[in-house]
Amino acid sequence: MSPDNARQKFFGTDGIRGRVGTQPIVPKTIVQLGWALGEALRAEHGAGTVVIGKDTRISGYMFESSLEAGLSAAGMDVMLIGPLPTPGIAYLTRSSRALAGIVISASHNPHYDNGIKIFSGAGYKLSDELEVKIETLMGVAMKVVDAAELGKASRYPDAAGRYIEHCKATVPDDFSLAGIKIALDCANGAAYHVGPAVYKELGADVDCIGIDPDGLNINDGVGSTHMEAIQKHVKAFGADIGISLDGDADRVLIVDADGDVVDGDAMLYLMAKARLRQGEEVPGVVGTLMSNLGIQRAVEAIGIKFERASVGDRYVMQLLQKKNWKLGGESSGHLIDLDKTTTGDGIVSSLQIVRELKESGKTLSQLLDGVTKFPMLMINVDISAAGGTDAAIICGVDVIQNIVREAEQGLGKEGRVLLRPSGTEPLIRVMVEGKDEQQVDHWCRRIASCVEQQLIEYS
């Protein structure tokens, strides 16, 4: 089995994710995962500590206990954090010198999904090589260490307070948000308690929604996948900016005072432009295959190189490290600021935008003046009912590829077509971009229809 195939059995582009109660998101498998991680770490480092945090979905209790049992069986101590943003767990893993950090979260998905993300001791996503080792151990019978060597569990002291201070430390010590009105949506997720605290302690006038989690309402009509909630709230509150986090707060989207959405592409441009104003060098930024052509041109117009990685934050990170650049991200709002964090951080990213808003004295719409995004349409084709059909095989079918080529010829150099399987959901994503909105709509719908027809024939 090749490393790629081995990793793909459980690990996708963002850890392991699925429906609770369906393999692999069941207690027995998650116990085995905890043990496999512990075994892999112990073989490389000896006994040590693993940090576990989660978002607010109800199944987190079950999987927290499962991971704790598996890690203890492998002789690993565990420090339990409870609900905290994914980037907060990455930060605390690094600062506490733990061997690894685990996040129990399905990010922007509904409450009935869950997943596992794992960070190295340095706060980065696991290497492919370590994921392959874990995959291999997932198929091995669990062997419990001697009773005297079993791992112990304890609560992480003041985890929320430490992460709040880390977020505040990403802006200057004398920086104040006094006079700025912020509408904040925490998605009833992991940032429900720390998100409001960060902005309030920096002096902002903050009004919040999505801060009353009950285990079932995470991402339910709120958060960065439901921008209508923050659009309505920013107008009702008369805010200067609206900030909408996803369920585990590693992603963020914002809206201006008029309620217009500013996506991750535009936020990346604003963060790069802010650094130039602050006198910093910005040799380049990394977007993805989904990044808008208009944003690429806007970034290049201010003298900054723009390169594209495959979709997924691990690929953005890989290209950033290869180029030795600092800024990268996705249109979904997963933004990486490598001299401040080791992974996407919705709170930290939004702070950089709010800082620019305050220090420049301009509105968001003024800061984005001159940026023209190309019309873009994405249609997600659901493949969950296709009987396990391989999405990559469907994407490569001749009849589909012929239409893709026809679309590319019709769009010319001013357009793009992207057809790819989702790395986190049972979907095939069809994206078309170009200068002519009607042409974009025509080709995107035609390709999506062809994909749907092929799914019927294969299922």
Q: Which residues are catalytic?
A: 107
Q: Which residues pair with 184 in a beta bridge?
A: 208, 243
The DSSP secondary structure of 13-46, one letter per residue, reads TTBEEEETTSTTSSHHHHHHHHHHHHHHHHHHH-
Hey, what amino acid is at 111?
Answer: H
Strand, coil or helix: what is 426? coil
Give the Cα separation of 199 and 237 in Å (integer): 16
Give the burial string for 271-296 (b: 16+ CB within 10 Å, else e): bbbbbeeeeeebebbbbbebbbbbbb
CA dihedral of residues 384, 390, 391, 395 (deg, nearest 10) = -140
**Helices marked H in 74-124:** 86-95
Strand, coil or helix: what is 214? coil
In 3D, which of 308, 312, 315 has the Cα closest to residue 288?
308
* Token duo for residue 263: 């996506």
